[in-house]
Structure 1
């Protein structure tokens, strides 16, 4: 199947009952090949795609609606990702479905999503009693967005990336930089996708103005969230060769779902589950 077969960009009737066939997986290999990553070799990064579902509901055995939020963590080394509209349709297929208990919901979600992506998927359900504990925060790090830069390029331009003037290979720093100016477009519908991005690295200093220009260069790029983060990680590694690099993006939600991919070459690296104000 190709993207033309996906529900994204097409009028699709909302399902009346649970239907795992609604999930539309997309192979990751094509995008990674385009980045010059060798499918026969181990990935140069690890990480995950963290999905937050804000619109999850089902019926209990008596027909009473129940609601929850859910966080799904899909490993970056899974062979497939899930097209977002199909994910939304799948979750909505539970709306009028009676389930005996919450464990049945968990079992179906874990089974169906794992089968779609080809790897185990972590599931965390957030019950209404815990809604008040959900907090809003911003990604930590030095904000790049106040830099006074002239922008001329709105397609990914890795040639913009460079080391800071006067920096030397022998001068190793560690820093975390953030921007709220990452924007790309859906490759099927052309709709804008907005994100905050955090770049944490160790190595020779990266020129901050060039990094901000590079982030903004995605503004007219057509690419899925996961693909954009992998491209950013790959481009920075090639241009600036940090010994450690973690790239984490928090995208604003669409259709009750947000997608938050991260990629890192740091063993055992992880990222926090911060939810930003725009999410």
Structure 2
């Protein structure tokens, strides 16, 4: 079984500039999910929305081509792809001659799909949308919608995940609210390098205490975990402690190595959020 410590994170890596899908390093979701009480089928659905900002290859005449790629990895997949290996894989296209843009898209789709199911039955394939240079100007920048929790002036003293900070008022009528914070920070599970993000929490249920929710988000500041794992931990902590009837957690992390990762988890199937970057991304 692949573990994060066996990946290329924190290690010197050779620059491979010819197409090599074997560079992709899948990591099972199951072990980290077991830590938060998710065994077997999760109670949530969702996806990991990736953006590749450094994507290039050669056409058949040897002329470099550039594009952005929006990549959607289903949350029900058995594995995630370690982000440095994803970057190394994309780099392997740099001096590879490929005739058509759609062939690039198909290769990425097939290779990532194989990696995230890692030999198991493929229940849902990865989605890939290519954005060519002439379309770059159409790519919007927009902040997450919702009431900004960061407006509150409060004391924060805990910097490891503290779900006991989460409470909800059970003696009032249920509400539907959406909150946003830009104070989410965690660290890479292997290297300890900081990961910066914004998070949007939407729910229906007993009213969640806002100061406690913000302090809880801040409590991830010294926590070492991958993006996808942090969002699933946030989802499960709120679901367990506050018992909403509906819940969605969506985080947008700033890019590292030309990639951003934006996990979305929801208690019910629904339309995926648009993969629109924020100002910090």
8 Å Cα contact 2:203/2:246 also seen in 1:
yes
Partner of 1:34: 35
8 Å Cα contact 1:88/1:257 also seen in 2:
yes
8 Å Cα contact 1:70/1:123 also seen in 2:
yes
Q: Provide Cα deviations, 1:4-54, integer angstroms capped at 9, x if missing partner.
A: 220111000110211000000000000111111122xx2100000000000
Partner of 2:185: 183
- Whole-Å Cα distance in 2 between the matches of residues 272 and 176 of structure 1? 16
Following superposition of structure 1 onto structure 2, how do residues 238-249 of structure 1 map, counting pairs within 5 Å?
238-249=240-251
- Whole-Å Cα distance in 2 between the matches of residues 206 and 250 of structure 1? 22
Partner of 1:54: 53
8 Å Cα contact 2:160/2:219 also seen in 1:
yes
Query: Match for 1:139 among 137, 144, 163?
Result: 144
8 Å Cα contact 2:166/2:213 also seen in 1:
yes
Does 2:231 align with 1:229? yes
Partner of 1:208: 210
Q: Which segment drifts farther, 113-122 or 69-78?
A: 113-122
- Whole-Å Cα distance in 1 between the matches of residues 176 and 3 of structure 2? 42
Partner of 2:17: 16
4+ residue stretches of structure 1 with deviation over 6 A? none
Does 2:153 align with 1:148? yes
Partner of 1:265: 267
Distance 1:243-1:145 versus aligned 2 partners, 3 A rule: same
8 Å Cα contact 2:182/2:199 also seen in 1:
yes
Partner of 2:109: 110
Question: Aligned with 2:208: secondary structure?
Answer: coil
> Structure 1 residue 266: deviation in Å?
2.1
Q: Which segment drifts farther, 245-254 or 102-111?
A: 102-111
- For these two proteins, the number of residue pairs brought into alignment is 274
Distance 1:274-1:106 versus aligned 2 partners, 3 A rule: closer
> Structure 1 residue 269: deviation in Å?
4.5
> Structure 1 residue 100: deviation in Å?
1.6
8 Å Cα contact 2:70/2:275 also seen in 1:
no
> Structure 1 residue 271: deviation in Å?
1.6
- Whole-Å Cα distance in 1 between the matches of residues 276 and 103 of structure 2? 28
Query: Match for 1:195 among 197, 204, 224?
Result: 197
8 Å Cα contact 2:187/2:224 also seen in 1:
yes
- Whole-Å Cα distance in 1 between the matches of residues 181 and 267 of structure 2? 21
Please report the RMSD computed on the Cα atoms of aligned residues, expressed in angstroms: 1.0
Does 2:130 align with 1:125? yes
Query: TM-score, structure 2 length as denominator?
Result: 0.95
- Whole-Å Cα distance in 2 between the matches of residues 181 and 103 of structure 1? 38
8 Å Cα contact 2:25/2:81 also seen in 1:
yes
